[in-house]
Structure 1
């Protein structure tokens, strides 16, 4: 065989481009410089599917490990995502990672409303309602007021106060989506999620011991655990460790805190919108969060029993997957180095907020004996 025949069989630049394009999921014959994915939904899917697929893969791995090793799934998703930070530096995954950390996140938060009903909230009685309302409001206020003393922005204080006061990682993600976006916003969100998740795990182990030490009965222990522990999963784990009655009450109290996510995010969004307007910033930077409307609609639908149990279970499961994938996406947008640089002060602020809400709810529970 002659050299001419060998060269004739070698791939040309165009052929090589087509081959590499096929490796990325592009049809053969479409050169990289002439990709025309179309428009609308097809173009969106074409742009986001590599990053979305990466986030879902991390979510699957995190879920499997969480189920087998009893470690919070959000923590696994964050750490794995951060290990794949290079995917967000450049390449075809960037658009999908941005999509999953924003749009998929909002869908997950909206679907949280499916498992909350007005009957559950009103059935708790006056004491838990007042205690939770005061605890959530004061914790967010504490974060906003104490943030400067810890060398942090007020937005970070509100973000962490909401995460500690309402429902951990889910609240952090929801509140972050309506706060003004800066170059440190995503790093701050990841830091809040990591720290709150770690503290919630510690609380799941230690708070039942505290409840037993101070002599709380099963109902009081449920109010204490549901009113203080950050994440829903850890509340359930701690509550049912004590007793089935404690677990049920703790879950309902926790869902009451989750229900406060809607008014809290709405009020905070309007407050920041007013601040932006007074400072001359464009109001369009803080649009109304439509996912809150979906949250409210699902709460109303569940309260009037318009949703069958199968639909509620499906919405809850989908919400969980969306949030885990969103956390994985946020992890891929953050590097370990960026978190290390922030130092101990933001962690100390979150610990202070955690101690505050824990002490406040415990004192209220003891006073209402």
Structure 2
């Protein structure tokens, strides 16, 4: 058990600090209505000095939390996925959602190229907007080769998609009312365009219960795209890194273990082998793991470095948000003509 004591001694302080920051963020979210992810990120940035101290007790634990706890939380997301739920939506609407995810990532890559940004940034922002916001950003960051801008870009992406998702949660339900969408169209639009799961639920159920149920279902289809997208990008990046000296980072594994875990839990849940109460518990544990890890990610990055990202990056992520909204809206409109 000496290894366990050594592990706790090395990582315990940083992990506990991250948990405290996450708990404070959750308190602010519950009592003042602020997005928990955003609060965890901002509070984490305020404690950046803990991650700067090379000889401090917290740095190793913050690194562990930002890396390993993140992967654990993403893997548990699979317990929310069920093939049975998705089949009820119909193949045409599912196709609109899937193509929206794929085209938004490609749009991000193209936009990054046109703006002179690296391909990593295009994948990171496009994937986070297309799939599930902060969770997707952290999962994609875990498999992309690292460079000197990796942490800054991750923090910027998480901060941006959380803010944009909150704005969408307020603005998009107003649009559905303005254009008199029925509950199905409203649900597909909200679930297919808003970045984070919590904001999708908030926006959907603010319109009606039926809209909330459809929006949540559509959002889970986007979440289900996380595993295949990460797998495909991991394979492509691995090949690219093999023939290019552009990156100094290590090549990611062909199939990251957290993706394997995601797929296993999704399959078990689809087969009905995970009881509903256990699935709900795993979903809550996943949310907390991601909240704790984003607090740690915030501690690792200084506010000054985030501000260095520039206006072009902001324009790109806003453009990606507008693109997926217009695509999903057009797809739903043509299907209901």
Q: Deviations over 1:23-54 (max 9, x none)?
A: xxxxxxxxxxxxxxx85332211100000000
Matches within 5 A, 1:198-217: 198-217=163-182
The partner residue of 1:295 within 253, 262, 268 is 262
1:304 equivalenced with 2:271 (yes/no): yes
Alpha-carbon distance in structure 1 between the residues aligned to 2:335 and 2:179: 14
Matches within 5 A, 1:203-242: 203-242=168-207
The partner residue of 2:7 within 32, 44, 54 is 44
- Matched-pair contact (CA < 8 Å) for 1:203–1:229: yes
Q: Deviations over 1:164-183 (max 9, x none)?
A: 00000000000000000112
Alpha-carbon distance in structure 2 between the residues aligned to 1:251 and 1:111: 17
Alpha-carbon distance in structure 1 between the residues aligned to 2:200 and 2:92: 19
Q: Deviations over 1:152-211 (max 9, x none)?
A: 211011000000000000000000000001121111001000000000000001111111
Calculate the TM-score normalised by the size of structure 1.
Answer: 0.88
Q: Deviations over 1:221-250 (max 9, x none)?
A: 001100000000000000001100000000
**Which deviates further from its counterpart, 89-98 or 335-344?**
335-344
3-state SS in 2 of match to 1:200: helix
Partner of 2:31: 68
Partner of 1:248: 213
- Counterparts in 2 of 1:267 and 1:58: CA distance versus 1, 3 Å: same
Alpha-carbon distance in structure 2 between the residues aligned to 1:139 and 1:112: 22
- Matched-pair contact (CA < 8 Å) for 1:273–1:283: no
Partner of 2:252: 286
Superposition deviation, residue 141 in structure 1: 0.4
Alpha-carbon distance in structure 1 between the residues aligned to 2:324 and 2:44: 30
Superposition deviation, residue 340 in structure 1: 1.1
3-state SS in 1 of match to 2:131: helix
What RMSD over aligned residues (CA atoms) do the two structures have, in Å?
1.3
Superposition deviation, residue 122 in structure 1: 1.4
3-state SS in 1 of match to 2:143: coil
Partner of 1:260: 225
Q: Count residues in correspondence.
A: 332
Alpha-carbon distance in structure 2 between the residues aligned to 1:118 and 1:268: 23
**Which deviates further from its counterpart, 186-195 or 284-293?**
284-293
1:337 equivalenced with 2:286 (yes/no): no
Partner of 2:73: 108
1:87 equivalenced with 2:37 (yes/no): no
Superposition deviation, residue 282 in structure 1: 8.5
Q: Deviations over 1:283-311 (max 9, x none)?
A: 95312310100000000110111111221
Matches within 5 A, 1:122-161: 122-161=87-126
Calculate the TM-score normalised by the size of structure 2.
Answer: 0.96
- Matched-pair contact (CA < 8 Å) for 2:147–2:249: no
1:197 equivalenced with 2:162 (yes/no): yes
3-state SS in 1 of match to 2:115: coil
Q: Deviations over 1:99-119 (max 9, x none)?
A: 000000000000001111111
Partner of 1:98: 63
Structure 1 unpaired stretches of 5+: 1-37
Partner of 1:313: 280
Structure 2 unpaired stretches of 5+: none
**Which deviates further from its counterpart, 203-212 or 54-63?**
203-212
